[in-house]
Homo-oligomer: A and B are copies of this chain.
Amino acid sequence: MTTFTKSHVTGPAYGASGDKPSRRRPGPTRAETLATELAEAITEGRMPPGTTLEEERLAAAHGVSRTPVREALRLLAATGLVEQRPRRGAVVARPEPGRLAEMFQAMAELEAICASLCAVAMTRADKARLASRHAGMAKIVEDGWLDAYRDANVAFHEALYAGSGNGYLAELADATRRRLAPFRAAQLGGRDRLAASHEEHGAIVAAILAGDAPAAAAAVRAHLAATEWSWGVLAGQPSARQD
């Protein structure tokens, strides 16, 4: 499971304007850079599910040849963000509604496990950090800052993954969340939902602070069950439909 860390991203892409990079970075290869960029474009909704990914077009758009493009697509296909039909090209993955529901359930369970582990494995300092992170989100909720809450929310959940102490598990959860990202409803609902979400977070944090693993798992499941509607998962296909 390859993860695409922000550190791999080199910016808005040199190739957007057609020029190639003069200085060569040591680490990341073109294919990886491309994969990261495409992954972001997909998860952020700029390339909605169903979008066809034509190799030559992508190559031209990023100022590279088809070879790295193909490798990037293979990478994304293995990640699940892209679907490759044998000789019919690649498209941004658009899972069946049933499969989306499966992924959502799996994510809930993965997060529940993470929270359980947090409850028993986190150091006192870690728990304090988590609590303060949660506390910091209160102001965002009061102000009704939707975009900021969305980011902070992702960060909160990723803190849960990291706090499990199990990096592999964290990667699974993160990858699943990323694969579901294109199906989030654009807006999280409204201020009421924001407050409710924050309150549910509070229950999770409390359980973790108390070291109560089963309660933490239950709180996570409840939180995600309540969140479900704010994803496109059960509402049928979202945004794009262009095949």
Contact = CB atoms under 8 A, between A and B. Distances in A.
Interface string A63-83: 000010011001101111000
Contact of A168 (B86, B103, B113, B166): B103
A78 B1 contact: yes
Interface string A53-70: 000000000000001001
A109 B109 CA distance: 9
A106 B172 contact: yes
Interface string A24-51: 0011110110000000000000000000
Give the contact-size bracket for chain A. Answer: 20 to 34
A99 interface: yes
Contacts of A197: none
A168 B75 contact: no
Contact of A78 (B75, B113, B169): B75
Chain copies in complex: 2
Which applies to chain A's interface (DSSP): helix, strand, loop or mixed?
helix
Contact of A86 (B28, B75, B77, B109): B28
A1 B86 CA distance: 16
A170 to B, nearest CB: 9
Nearest to A67: B67
A199 interface: no
Interface of A: 1-2, 26-29, 31-32, 67, 70-71, 74-75, 77-80, 86-87, 99, 102-103, 105-106, 109, 113, 166-169, 172, 175-176
